[in-house]
């Protein structure tokens, strides 16, 4: 039973929370946005672009034009990716990158339902209509995970697992080399960096001949997810597909 004192304390806490986090959109700082809206207003959400066909059947790169048949882009024909497909929910533009950045580096967990929601909304139907055995998040290097205290790919993968019923498995794919921040590197440099960064653990026995959904927050050049898919496939897994929240285009 609530006493007058606890009611007073709750009111006080709510007032403090509202003071620290006013109900204002954290992207534009102008419109109202409630905690239930993850502090992102309707106008800012409307600026977020979902990825729609036509896109490369392998890497999911959207292209303009009236293409109705399945096709692979020139880059994919060169790359010989070990994943069967890579798909993303939204375009990695300014607003989305800002949300992801603050989520990852600023622990802005209130954005998580929104970001995971994009992924679930786009991936659920496709994954349910196919036959996948495990969801595997792209791992962080242990020292980086200790410093950040969480792996965003793993947290997003949990949402996808809950929405699809496909079980999540962690600690089978490991990051064995730290890779520096990749944003400023060329494609060739990124590929060289990540090629040897991943390895399988004893637990990866579970993945033998299994079809795997690899999950990450962003697909940029495909170097990271491509390297993970190669390691999984050479360890004896079945097909690997990739799902990310956002994709650079």
Nearer to Zn ion, 1 or 46 (CB): 46
Q: Which helix (H) or strand (E) holds 36?
A: none
Q: What is the 3-state secondary structure (H, E, C) of 176-214?
A: CCCCCCCCCCCHHHHHHHHCCCEEECHHHHHHCCCCEEE
Which window, 41-49, 88-96, 109-117, 118-126, contacts Zn ion (CB under 5 A)? 41-49
Taking CB under 5 A as the criterion, which residues in 68-107 touch Zn ion? 73, 76
Q: Which of 180, 219, 227 is nearest to 97 (CA)?
A: 219
Nearer to Zn ion, 1 or 74 (CB): 74
Return the structure tokens found at 18.
């509202």
The binder of Zn ion chosen from 48, 56, 214, 241 (CB under 5 A): 56
3-state helix, strand, coil in the chain (%, to 5): 45, 15, 40
Strand partners, 88: 244
* 59 touching Zn ion, by CB under 5 A: yes
* 44 touching Zn ion, by CB under 5 A: yes
* 241 touching Zn ion, by CB under 5 A: no
Nearer to Zn ion, 73 or 163 (CB): 73
Nearer to Zn ion, 43 or 162 (CB): 43
Which chain residues interact with Zn ion by CB under 5 A? Answer: 25, 27-28, 31, 41, 44, 56, 58-59, 61, 73, 76
């Amino acid at each position: 039973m609530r006493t007058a004192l606890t009611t007073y304390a709750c009111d006080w806490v709510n007032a403090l929370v509202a003071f620290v986090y006013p109900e204002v959109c954290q992207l534009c700082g102008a419109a109202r946005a409630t905690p239930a809206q993850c502090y992102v207003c309707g106008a800012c959400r409307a600026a977020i672009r979902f990825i729609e066909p036509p896109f490369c059947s392998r890497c999911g790169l959207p292209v303009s034009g009236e293409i109705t048949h399945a096709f692979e882009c020139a880059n994919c024909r060169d790359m010989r990716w070990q994943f069967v497909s890579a798909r993303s929910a939204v375009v990695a533009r300014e607003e989305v990158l800002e949300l992801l950045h603050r989520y990852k580096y600023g622990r802005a967990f209130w954005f998580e339902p929104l970001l995971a929601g994009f992924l679930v909304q786009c991936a659920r139907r496709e994954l349910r209509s196919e036959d996948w055995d495990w969801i595997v998040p792209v791992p962080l290097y242990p020292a980086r995970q200790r410093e950040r205290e969480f792996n965003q790919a793993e947290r997003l993968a949990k949402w996808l697992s809950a929405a699809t019923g496909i079980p999540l498995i962690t600690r089978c794919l490991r990051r064995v080399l730290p890779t520096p921040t990749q944003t400023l590197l060329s494609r060739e440099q990124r590929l060289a960096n990540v090629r040897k960064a991943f390895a399988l653990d004893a637990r990866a026995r579970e993945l033998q001949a299994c079809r795997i959904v690899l999950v990450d927050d962003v697909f940029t050049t495909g170097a990271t997810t491509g390297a993970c898919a190669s390691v999984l496939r050479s360890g004896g897994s079945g097909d690997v597909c990739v799902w990310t929240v956002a994709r650079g285009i």
